[in-house]
């Protein structure tokens, strides 16, 4: 468990009075930070910390140091510095939106079991924002030539270096880029990395391979021969941040979806120098125009697929204004190798979308749960679908194909499993794949998958494929080979009475029946635990035979025998 200076630190006093006058149904970032502190989920670091070398590595340890997810915290750095000794008057919040599911829940404003349904209804019925004139994000305004003064441009923002030793600059990792379709006027909010290049120049990677909304807008402005207006929000009400990283259709305005999540419109204000609407309670807004004629080198930068993205040509934005709150908090996502803050955000939001797609849109029977594997694989590569016992094989295969086609880049390995398999546990998935499927029958490859997220392979232009694996039980199986539940529970009481280290049970932690457990064998097992195994030995001696081969299964009823009179091989405990 992480310890340190937590809770209601005096350093938080500056945020308690920053309550805005506009009525709203959602928390701004200051209120969110205070709620985290009240819940004991905030570590306040009220001493100088170097944003270029220390900040992200410190928070990274809770994701790579064996800290269990419920024990991870948000970190608020109130005195950021850089490698040249500069001090900043803006705090930095790292892992403040999704250090764990509970942090996400507090920011989202709904119980965890309602988050999935809320996403579905919010995307189906967005609530347009409310335009206001009194906006906290305009408490400080820096426009035009003033941006060239020391500490007033991008150099005044304490943006951390995410992966020191590999990244070539500080990058916005929680920069929400707002652009507008020049034809329809619909805004898009997407989260992309942004390289700090000079006081007035910001790099931008549009994630072309994922068909990001900002890239579609950029192409339209380029065809017109015009620069693209853009506003980058760095820190804002959590519901807006969650909407910014969710995958949505291009015709949906993420701010309107955020309003539906909040149960009321998000307050927005017109930007100073570009024709865009920005969240009124944003912490920092960077305005400008993205060049549509020239590109320049950008990166290297550590990406969420776990590898460094090497240098490539990307867009650049000329900054025309920076506005912010007086006591601004800059947010920075911990991304790169998963688990991470960004993977928690995506996992909580994307799994319900996949489940709804299979259950509601495709009408597939038997689907119970969708789990996107997080550690190291960044959610997109390995997807497990959990089914109710007895689901028809046709429905299993429909679900596997449906999951493969929902997103053009997600789902390289898609595995169907039974309810007794923990889809969050890779060991359990491999167990099911090893003993509940025959690859020659239960594995299908869908070619021509978009390479999508991560490094591209050396052949076929990086084109990938989806591997569909049916790893559910095809018939009855012998029990799981662990002591029955009652014996494990009794042994746990003994364990605790002996004062041994606390247990963290991992499924499966007791044996259970998988459909083939004859009453005769259960009777024999009861004899063993009652100490009557010698009596059983006398009974077994009376059943000797000389007409069978070694390892021939013993049949205990007509349902276990095939037409030769021998036990069905797949029911044999020696060869399931």
**What is the spatial distance between Cα 17 and Cα 344, in angstroms, rounded to a whole number?**
30
Domain boundary, last residue among 493, 513, 533: 513
Q: Say if residue 509 is in the same domain as residue 567.
A: no
The three-class DSSP label of residue 469 is strand
Q: Say if residue 428 is in the same domain as residue 535.
A: no
Domain boundary, last residue among 292, 314, 332: 332
Strand 74-81 with 42-50, pairing: parallel
**pLDDT of 570:** 39
Q: Say if residue 263 is in the same domain as residue 319.
A: yes
Strand 91-94 with 329-332, pairing: parallel
Helix, strand, coil percentages in the chain from 3-state DSSP, rounded to 5 = 30, 25, 45
Q: Say if residue 219 is in the same domain as residue 301.
A: yes
**pLDDT of 224:** 97
Rg (Cα) of the chain, in Å, rounded? 28
Give the chain's residues under pLDDT 70: 1-8, 17-22, 207-212, 452-453, 557-576
Q: Say if residue 60 is in the same domain as residue 198.
A: yes
Question: In terms of residues, how long is the chain?
Answer: 576
**pLDDT of 345:** 87
Peptide bond into 17 cis (omega under 30): no
Q: Which domain covers residue 553, as residue numbers?
A: 518-576
The sheet carrying 413-418 orders its strands as 367-372, 382-387, 413-418, 464-470, 443-449
The three-class DSSP label of residue 370 is strand
Q: Say if residue 407 is in the same domain as residue 298.
A: no
Decide if 350 is inside a domain.
Answer: no
Q: Say if residue 196 is in the same domain as residue 271.
A: yes
Q: Which residue has the tokens 């908090």?
A: 329
Terminal-residue alpha carbon distance, the chain: 42
Decide if 337 is inside a domain.
Answer: no
For 138-206, strand residue ranges (E) read 140-143, 171-180, 187-198, 201-204
Domain boundary, last residue among 459, 492, 513: 513
**pLDDT of 568:** 39
Consecutive H or E run containing 450: none
The three-class DSSP label of residue 24 is coil
What pTM does this model have? 0.85
**pLDDT of 482:** 87
Decide if 114 is inside a domain.
Answer: yes
**pLDDT of 126:** 97
Decide: 328 and 284 in contact? Cβ < 8 Å: yes
Q: Say if residue 229 is in the same domain as residue 300.
A: yes
Torsion angle in degrees (nearest 10) through CA of 30, 33, 35, 36:
170
For 423-540, strand residue ranges (E) read 443-449, 464-470
**pLDDT of 571:** 36
Q: Say if residue 34 is in the same domain as residue 57.
A: yes
**pLDDT of 562:** 38
Q: Say if residue 375 is in the same domain as residue 502.
A: no
**pLDDT of 392:** 95
Q: Say if residue 501 is in the same domain as residue 548.
A: no
For 39-154, strand residue ranges (E) read 42-50, 74-81, 91-94, 130-131, 140-143
Specify burial of residue 94 (Cβ count, 10 A radius: 0-12, 13-18, 19+).
Answer: buried
Decide if 4 is inside a domain.
Answer: no
Q: Say if residue 454 is in the same domain as residue 558.
A: no
The CA-CA-CA angle for residues 281, 287, 290, to 5°, reads: 140
């Amino acid at each position: 468990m992480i310890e340190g200076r937590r809770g209601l630190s005096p350093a938080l006093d500056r945020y308690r009075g920053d309550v805005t006058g506009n009525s709203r149904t959602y928390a701004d970032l200051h209120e969110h930070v205070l709620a985290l502190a009240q819940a004991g989920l905030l570590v306040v670091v009220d001493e100088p910390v170097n944003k270029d070398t220390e900040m992200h590595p410190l928070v990274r340890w809770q994701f790579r140091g064996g800290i269990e997810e419920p024990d991870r915290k948000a970190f608020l750095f109130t005195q950021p510095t850089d490698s040249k000794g500069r001090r900043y008057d803006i705090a930095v919040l790292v892992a403040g939106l999704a250090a764990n599911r509970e942090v996400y829940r507090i920011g989202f404003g709904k119980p965890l079991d309602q988050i999935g349904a809320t996403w579905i209804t919010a995307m189906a019925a967005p609530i347009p924002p409310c335009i206001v004139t009194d906006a906290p994000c305009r408490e400080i305004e820096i426009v035009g030539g003033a941006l060239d003064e020391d500490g007033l441009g991008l150099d005044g923002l304490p943006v951390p270096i995410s992966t020191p030793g590999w990244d070539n600059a500080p990058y916005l990792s929680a920069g929400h880029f707002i652009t507008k379709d020049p034809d329809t006027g619909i805004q898009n909010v997407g989260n992309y990395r942004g390289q700090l290049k000079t006081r007035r120049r910001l790099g931008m990677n549009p994630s072309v391979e994922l068909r990001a909304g900002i890239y579609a807008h950029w192409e339209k402005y380029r065809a017109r021969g015009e620069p693209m207006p853009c506003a980058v929000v760095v820190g804002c009400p959590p519901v807006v941040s969650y909407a910014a990283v969710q995958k949505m259709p291009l015709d949906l305005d993420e701010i309107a979806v955020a309003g539906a999540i909040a149960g009321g419109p998000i307050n927005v204000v017109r930007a100073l120098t570009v024709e865009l609407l920005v969240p009124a309670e944003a912490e920092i807004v960077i305005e400008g125009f993205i060049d549509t004629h020239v590109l320049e080198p950008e990166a290297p930068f550590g990406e969420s697929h776990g590898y460094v993205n090497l240098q490539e040509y990307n867009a650049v934005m000329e900054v025309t204004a920076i506005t912010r709150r007086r006591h601004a908090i800059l947010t920075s996502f911990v991304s790169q190798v998963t688990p991470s803050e960004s993977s928690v955000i995506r996992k909580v939001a994307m799994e319900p979308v996949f489940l709804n797609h299979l259950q509601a849109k495709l009408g597939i029977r038997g689907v119970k749960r969708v789990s996107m594997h997080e550690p190291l694989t960044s959610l997109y590569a390995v997807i497990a679908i959990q089914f109710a016992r007895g689901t028809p094989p046709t429905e299993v295969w429909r679900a596997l194909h449906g999951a493969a086609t929902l997103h053009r880049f997600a789902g390289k390995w898609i595995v169907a499993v039974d309810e007794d398999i923990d889809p969050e546990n890779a060991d359990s998935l491999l167990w099911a794949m090893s003993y509940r499927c025959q690859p020659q029958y239960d594995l299908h490859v869908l070619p021509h998958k978009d390479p999508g997220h991560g490094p591209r392979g050396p052949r076929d232009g990086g084109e990938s494929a989806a591997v569909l694996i049916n790893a559910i039980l095809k018939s009855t199986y012998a029990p799981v080979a662990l002591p029955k539940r009652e014996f494990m529970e009794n042994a746990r009481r003994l364990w605790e009475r002996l004062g041994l280290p606390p247990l963290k049970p991992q499924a499966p932690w007791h044996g259970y029946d998988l459909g083939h457990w004859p009453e005769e064998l259960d009777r024999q097992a009861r004899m063993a635990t009652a100490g009557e195994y010698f009596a059983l030995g006398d009974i077994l001696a009376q059943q000797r035979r000389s007409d069978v081969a070694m390892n021939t299964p013993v049949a205990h009823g007509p349902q276990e025998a095939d037409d030769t009179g021998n036990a069905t091989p797949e029911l044999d405990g020696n060869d399931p």
